[in-house]
């Protein structure tokens, strides 16, 4: 794709497949399970003003599970490196480790699923590994500036947010910016700050609940008679603002009492 973050241009058409690997009682009397998910996404060609984009298409594949303590999407990435990078084994290993950490740091510890009956909250996580068998193959290229990164073509200077954005496509998410692989055009879902939108240009993009909706759906698939809610964990800066606000209220109350 011609943007700095996008998806593979290859059009694919694969039916969504789900196959339960296990379904057994879990902690809190919930049913746990594991399911392999594969499918495809597509965006027809569209025009905005004088510019035409697409068509776009890509496959997604991962393992989704609930083990009674957390919900996880596990995905294996096969990183292949261009000869122009001249990476030795240690540099390749370092790139893989950094990419794994960048993705998990952005996606993890941002949301949880709460069982309203027991009050127990289950963290939502992703688990990225590079040992195989692989769900996706990513070709890593030497950065030259204004790199046309997409889901299967990354560059050596890509930021952590861009890597986490491309990982979102591997989970089946659409772009949220015009020019990308958007959904439901001509009225696509767009965002200026979300990870799947223009927020991927920033160091700390917003993680919207819709990015985690599939986890909540899966909990209801496993436990259809239960009552669950999704909670988005505030960023550290948000917590700081709350604490500062509470301290301010306490200070005002104290001053009023002293004045009285």
Domain boundaries, the chain: 17-233
Average pLDDT over residues 47-65: 97
Q: Phi/psi of residue 120, each to 5°?
A: -80, 135
Between 233 and 158, the higher pLDDT residue: 158
* pLDDT tier at 6, thresholds 50, 70, 90: low
Is a pLDDT exceeding 90 seen at residue 233? no
Token code pair at residue 146: 């204004």
Is a pLDDT exceeding 80 seen at residue 256? no
Average pLDDT over residues 129-158: 97
- Give the C-alpha separation, 216 to 209, whole Å: 10
End-to-end CA distance of the chain: 67
pTM for this model (two decimals): 0.83
Token code pair at residue 245: 């606000």
- Give the C-alpha separation, 28 to 41, whole Å: 36
- Of residues 202, 159, 139, 175, the one with CA closest to residue 3: 175
pLDDT at 234: 80
Least confident of 98-102, 142-146, 192-196: 142-146
* pLDDT tier at 84, thresholds 50, 70, 90: very high
Least confident of 44-53, 71-80, 244-253: 244-253
Least confident of 3-17, 46-60, 146-160, 227-241: 3-17
The DSSP output letter for 180 is S
pLDDT at 21: 41
Between 106 and 146, the higher pLDDT residue: 106
Is a pLDDT exceeding 90 seen at residue 72? yes
54 vs 61, 139, 144, 148, 191, CA distance in Å? 22, 21, 24, 14, 19
- Of residues 132, 16, 125, the one with CA closest to residue 73: 125
- Give the C-alpha separation, 99 to 165, whole Å: 12
* Residue 88 neighbours by CB under 8 Å, 6+ apart: none
């Amino acid at each position: 794709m011609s943007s700095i973050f996008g998806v593979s241009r290859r059009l694919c058409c694969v039916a969504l497949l789900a196959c339960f690997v296990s379904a057994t009682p879990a902690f809190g009397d919930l049913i746990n399970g594991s399911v392999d998910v594969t499918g495809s996404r597509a965006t027809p060609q569209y025009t905005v003003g004088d510019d035409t984009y697409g068509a776009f298409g890509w496959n997604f594949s991962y393992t989704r599970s609930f083990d009674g303590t957390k919900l996880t999407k596990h995905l294996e990435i096969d990183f292949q490196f261009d000869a122009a990078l001249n990476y030795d084994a240690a540099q390749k290993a370092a790139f893989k480790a950094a990419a794994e950490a960048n993705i998990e740091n952005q996606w993890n510890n941002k949301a949880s699923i709460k069982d309203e009956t027991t009050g127990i909250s289950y963290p939502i996580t992703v688990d990225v590994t590079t040992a195989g068998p692989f769900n996706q193959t990513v070709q890593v290229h030497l950065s030259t500036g204004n790199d046309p990164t997409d889901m299967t073509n990354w560059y050596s200077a890509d930021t952590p947010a861009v890597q986490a954005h491309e990982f979102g496509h591997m989970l089946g998410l659409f772009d949220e910016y015009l020019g990308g692989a958007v959904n439901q055009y001509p009225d696509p879902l767009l965002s200026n700050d979300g990870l799947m939108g223009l927020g991927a240009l920033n160091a700390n993009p917003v993680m919207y609940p819709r990015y985690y909706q599939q986890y909540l759906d899966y909990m209801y698939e496993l436990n259809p008679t239960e009552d669950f809610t999704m909670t988005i964990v505030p960023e550290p800066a948000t917590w700081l603002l709350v604490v500062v606000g509470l301290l301010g209220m306490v200070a005002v109350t104290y001053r009023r009492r002293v004045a009285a």
